[in-house]
Chains A and B, each alone.
Chain A
Amino acid sequence: DIQMTQSPSTLSASIGDKITITCRASQSINNWMAWYQQKPGKAPKLLIYRASTLERGVPSRFSGSASGTEFTLTISSLQPDDFATYYCQQYGPSSRAFGQGTKVEIE
């Protein structure tokens, strides 16, 4: 099965900062990558799919990119509502896998 390695596990930042979260797949996944935001006590919310397509209704400060087996979620200017935990997720023909999560905290 494909393994996902997400980093960092925790990120401290301030309002207005640009932040980047990275996920690395153990093998090629042909951009079958999604990103989610989760807040305490809530189900995850889809932000980006197919590595770089923004989900409808998600602010444009969120973006995704891919380079080989490395995938990046970027928030261009952190807002108060963005403090949450973020997960990457790969889709495979017979399995899926989530990254370990990145908690974005207020610095």
Chain B
Amino acid sequence: EVQLVESGGGLARPGESLRLTCTASGFTFSSHVLDWVRQAPGKGLEWVSGISGSGGTTYYADSVKGRFIISRDNSRNTLDLLMNSLRVEDTALYYCARMRRETGAFDVWGPGTVVAVSS
């Protein structure tokens, strides 16, 4: 079964760091672009970051550029998001999502992990 499962969410204070991990199974991990998408409470979906299959190319939304770092380990089938200098507005449910090749669309999503930033 194709599956993505996020972990690492929790409560942090402004300025602190958190690392999210997405563990994949059931597909050839290195063949797919993977992204992080977040959803603040009661709000819409916001794209956060993406990474190529090899890990050599990364992309970030302006709202997190310079603070978040996306990476992947193709030997362990894991995707990470290191979130530094956290802000209250980073509070959200964070999803990892698989991009289907040649479509630009996310066909597999994890259940998400909650990040809460509060003083």
- Which among A13-21, A65-73, A91-99 touches the partner chain? A91-99
Q: Count residues on chain B whose CB falls below 8 Å from chain A CBs.
A: 22
Q: Mark B42-55, 1 if CB is under 8 A from A, else 0.
A: 00111100100000
Chain A residues, CB < 8 A from B44 = 85, 87, 98-101
B103 touching A95, Cβ below 8 Å: no
| 8 Å CB interface, A55-95 against B | 55, 85, 87, 89-91, 94-95
**Secondary structure of the B side of the interface?**
strand
- Cα of A39 to Cα of B45 in the assembled complex, Å: 13
- Chain B residue, CB-CB nearest to A96: B47
Asked if A8 is at the interface of the complex by the 8 Å CB criterion, the answer is no
- Which among B68-76, B78-86, B109-117 touches the partner chain? B109-117
- A residues sitting closer than 8 Å to B (CB atoms) are 1, 32, 34, 36, 38, 43-46, 49-50, 53, 55, 85, 87, 89-91, 94-101
Chain B residues, CB < 8 A from A53 = 103
Asked if B100 is at the interface of the complex by the 8 Å CB criterion, the answer is yes
- Chain B residue, CB-CB nearest to A91: B104
Chain B residues, CB < 8 A from A100 = 44
- Cα of A100 to Cα of B39 in the assembled complex, Å: 11
- Chain B residue, CB-CB nearest to A48: B105
Of listed A90, A96, A98, residue having the most chain B CB within 10 A: A96
- Chain B residue, CB-CB nearest to A33: B104
Say whether, besides A95-B59, A98-B44, A101-B44, A46 and B105 are in contact (CB < 8 Å).
yes
- Cα of A98 to Cα of B107 in the assembled complex, Å: 15
Complex A-B: 27 CB contacts under 8 Å? A34-B105, A36-B106, A43-B109, A43-B112, A44-B45, A44-B106, A45-B109, A46-B106, A49-B104, A50-B103, A50-B105, A53-B103, A89-B45, A89-B47, A91-B104, A91-B105, A94-B59, A95-B47, A95-B59, A96-B104, A97-B47, A98-B37, A98-B44, A98-B46, A99-B44, A100-B44, A101-B45
